[in-house]
Amino acid sequence: MMIAIINYEAGNLASVSNALKRLNEPHIITNNPDELNDSDGIIFPGVGHAEPAMASLKKNSLDQWLKKTNKPVLGICLGMQLLYESSEEGDSEGLGIIPGRLRKFDSSKEKVPHMGWNTFTDVDDSHPLVSSFNTSEYFYYVHSYFAPVNKYTLASCCYIQDFTAVVSKDNYMGAQFHPEKSGKAGALLLQNFLSYVHSGSE
Amino acid sequence: MLAKRIIPCLDIKDGRTVKGVNFEGLRDAGDPVELAKRYSDEGADELVFLDITATKEKRKTLVELVKKIALKIDIPFTVGGGISSVEQIGDLLHAGADKVSLNSAIVRNPELINKASQQFGAQCIVAAVDAKQTGDQWNVYISGGSIDTGKDALEWIKEAEERGAGEILLTSMDKDGTKSGYDLDLLNAVNSFLTIPVIASGGAGTKNHCIEAVKKGSADAVLAASIFHFQKIEIDELKRSMENEGIAVRHAVNNN
């Protein structure tokens, strides 16, 4: 049983690795497809700009690997955003796994980035990733682009408007906030993902 | 709803916290990791570590310390103090800091904001500005408040934002250390044009000062050192007072 954190240039790898260490979860950080194939669950972190992040994934053919895998994948922040089809950020292409286009927050209405702790406005607690949550827990967000709410949205958050906080399609999951920086609530979400991976690999 | 953030600030010298921190239950009150953990458990939303170590050799200690903090702490933290190059910023971020705070170096070399922001993203670049009222404007001071640059603070903050800073840490030198409240005029002046978050700093003495900074000064976050270190205002108690005033605050999950 091993978790792999995808290693590419836009990853906040140390933070995610530290969070897994705090949960005593064995893991590797890798961009090697063979090692990814040997793992049971994938964490796909990301900070920064969508365009260079996609370029970095393509360089190692990690984009193709991610599109084809049937292992549980958890995208975090930019990692979640890259699961979508495209983004207004640099008019860039995403992996196209989840339908939708990322949009930029309207900075004439509120400060952008959306930075700080926010709650869910709505959550579908039938999915194991968010089954333990309601609208009282706070998670830490830092982002200027957002995924509109669609049928794959598991939890929404409101800043300027409703957007997707947690998403799931098939074996792919994503969180717009940083669970690795969201205190106990974030640790619980990561634990939910790990439990989901464990249940599938038994 | 987006919560207003409470940010304790820890001064670090040679890898240890300075100022007379006097918490009960800490084995070692000078250990930044232990103190950070304590604040985090009490409900701090973020932490700022300000390194006041002078020498270059000892700054390596800071990177090692950042690694230790990042392993133990599960909320965001900023590291500042004497950072002057893209390389140093990279070292601290790779060690696990979420943001870096830049002060004198960006006044001397404003291009550093652009470079750092392009390389690491605006979200991790905090422009720290020490402002002091001089005549009918606020001037920017650098080198720990010892040099008046003559620069207009409002213009400088606007420039820092345009160059790619993701957040402003605004310290009122007039108010700093007075415990008479944050500089609401300065906060309002800055918030009239700023489109990125501003952290209010300097002057906190009571819970009410934090409430005012948010309600009257539109601060997105309040930073304080001594009220948490000396006066023993509990973070959770402060948050409850803020909540009673209609301010959205985060209460940490307690699943122990």
Q: B197 vs A111: CB contact, 8 Å cut-off?
A: yes
- The closest CB to that of A118, out of B3, B121, B166, belongs to B3
- B11 and chain A in contact, CB less than 8 A: no
Closest-CA residue of A relative to B123 is A142
Checking if the pLDDT of A127 tops 50, the result is yes
Contacts of B98 in chain A (CB under 8 A): 15, 181
If DSSP codes are grouped into helix, strand and coil, which group holds residue A69? coil
Q: How far apart are CA A31 and CA A43, in angstroms?
A: 12
Contacts of B235 in chain A (CB under 8 A): none
Q: ipTM of this predicted complex? A: 0.92
Question: What confidence tens digit (pLDDT) does each residue in A49-69 have?
Answer: 788 889 889 998 999 999 999
Q: A15 vs B197: CB contact, 8 Å cut-off?
A: no
**Number of CB pairs < 8 Å for A and B?**
92
Q: How far apart are CA B153 and CA B9, in angstroms?
A: 22
pLDDT tens-place values along chain B, 256 residues long = 999 999 999 988 888 888 645 556 666 768 899 999 989 999 999 999 999 876 666 677 899 999 999 999 999 999 999 899 999 999 999 899 999 999 999 999 999 999 999 888 888 999 999 999 999 999 999 998 889 999 999 999 999 999 999 999 999 999 998 999 999 999 999 999 999 999 999 999 999 999 999 999 999 999 988 788 765 688 999 999 999 999 999 987 654 3
Contacts of A188 in chain B (CB under 8 A): 253, 255
Contacts of B194 in chain A (CB under 8 A): 111
- The closest CB to that of A187, out of B74, B123, B254, belongs to B74
Which residue among the candidates B130, B174, B176, B220 is catalytic per the annotation?
B130
Taking phi over 0 as left and psi of -120 to 50 as alpha, with beta for the rest, A10 belongs to alpha
If DSSP codes are grouped into helix, strand and coil, which group holds residue A199? helix
Residue corresponding to tokens 């930019």: A78
- B71 and chain A in contact, CB less than 8 A: yes
Supply the Cα-derived Rg of chain B in whole angstroms.
17
User: Quick one: A131 exposed, middle or buried, by C-beta within 10 A (0-12, 13-18, 19+)?
Assistant: middle
Q: B1 vs A158: CB contact, 8 Å cut-off?
A: yes
- The closest CB to that of A117, out of B123, B194, B250, belongs to B250
Strands B5-13 and B221-224: parallel
Give me the active site residues of A, please.
Answer: 77, 178, 180
Q: A48 vs B5: CB contact, 8 Å cut-off?
A: no
pLDDT given at position B134: 94
Instruction: Give Cβ neighbours of residue B108 (< 8 Å, ≥ 6 apart).
Output: B142
- B161 and chain A in contact, CB less than 8 A: no
Edge-first strand order for the sheet with A84-87 is A92-93, A84-87, A98-104, A145-146
Concerning whether B136 is annotated as a catalytic residue, the answer is no
Closest-CA residue of A relative to B44 is A183
Q: Which CATH number fits domain B5-244: 3.40.50.300, 1.10.260.40, 1.20.120.450, 3.20.20.70?
A: 3.20.20.70
User: Does CATH place domain A3-201 in 3.90.76.10?
Assistant: no
Which residue ranges make up each domain of chain B?
5-244
Number of other CB atoms surrounding residue A21 within 10 Å: 13
